Structures are given as C-alpha cells and as structure tokens.
Amino acid sequence: MLAPWYGPMALRRGRVATVAVMFLLGAAPTVLLAAPYYLTDLTYALSIGLMLLPLRHALLLGLGTVLGQIVWMRLAQGEVAWAQAAILVGVTAALGTVFALNFTIGHLRTAGEQFRRLAVNKEREQVARDMHDVLGHSLSTLACASWIRPSPRRRWPAARAR
C-alpha cells in the first residue's frame, strides 16, 4: 500500500523528502546533544537513502556524512573517533554493494527474459516461413497438376451430356 509513496516506484520528490526526513531524525540527537559521536545513528538514514535514491547520489550522501562527521569531531573535540567513522563507511559500502548487485541481478533477469522472448519469436518466424514455403509449393503443384490433367468432361463425353 505504501510502495507508491516510499518504494522504488515512488516519485523522485517523495523519495528525496523521505531520505531528508530520516536524515533530520538521525541527526537530531547529534545537534541537540552537540556531540558528533551520535552521527553514527545516521546509518539508518543512509540505508534508506541507498534504497530510495539512485546509487551514485546515495554513495555521495554517505561520503558527505562521513566527511561531515570527521570534520565536526576534529573541530569540536580535537580528535576523531575513527571507529565510528568506519561504521558509517562500512555501512555505506556494504549496502551500496548489496543494492548495486541487486540492481545488476534485476537487469540480468530482464535481459534473460528478453533473450528468451526473442528466441521464441525467431523460432515462430522460422516455422511461419517454412509453412509459407510448403503451402506455396503445394498450391503451385496443385495448380500445375490441374492444368496438365484433363478434366472429367473431356475424358467422358457421356458426362458432358448430363
């Protein structure tokens, strides 16, 4: 029921709005508590972004989030918690790979179905050509035979009289 609004078939504006709301919700603890360490909560928003946005945009979003977290940590505390930054990088890379593979598998399935349809159509066309040739040959043979063979009226004069 919600697939037209939030699924892959949703309008682009709706998908972007959904990801933006998730990012706001994920960044809220960080902003309210003024602690960049809570940016790791954005892993959920990143995973939704990877599902709803084109892959190139979602990966840029993930990279921007990681860079923002690193810069904020450096400016706020003077040190960077690399483990938390690595979590965001790992989630973005892993989910990006999964969704890219899923996208590729979908395209391969579609190509396989199209190949099967083309093979069936080619076979049907070949059978139709063969039937056309056989039928044409048979009709031509019948036409020639009817010209060569004498009609029954010419063979039996008594049949003509009736």
Give per-residue pLDDT as tens, 100-118. Answer: 888 889 889 999 999 999 9
CB atoms within 10 A of CB 142: 10
| Residue 158 belongs to a domain | no
Q: Of 50, 38, 23, nearest to 84 (Cα)?
A: 38
Asked if residue 13 has pLDDT above 80, the reply is no
Residues 76 and 141 in one domain: no
Residues 68 and 124 in one domain: no
Range with top average pLDDT, 58-72, 123-137, 142-156: 123-137
Asked if residue 64 has pLDDT above 60, the reply is yes
Residues 27 and 100 in one domain: yes
d(CA 156, CA 90) in angstroms, rounded, equals 98
CB-based contact 88:65 (threshold 8 Å) = yes
Please state at what angle helix 43-52 crosses helix 82-148, rounded to 10 degrees. 20
Cα 29 to chain centroid distance, Å, stands at 36
Produce one character per residue of 49-80: b if its CB has 16 or more CB atoms within 10 Å, e if not: bbbbbeeeebbebbeebbebbbebbeeeeeee
Domain that residue 8 falls in: 3-112
| Residue 161 belongs to a domain | no
| Residue 138 belongs to a domain | yes
Confidence class for position 1, pLDDT limits 50, 70, 90: very low
Tokens linked to 67: 């860079």
Residues 8 and 70 in one domain: yes
Full-prediction pTM beyond 0.75?
A: no
Confidence class for position 160, pLDDT limits 50, 70, 90: low
What is the amino acid identity at position 110? Answer: T
Residues 87 and 8 in one domain: yes
| Residue 160 belongs to a domain | no
Residues 21 and 75 in one domain: yes
Q: Report the number of distinct structural domains present in the chain.
A: 2
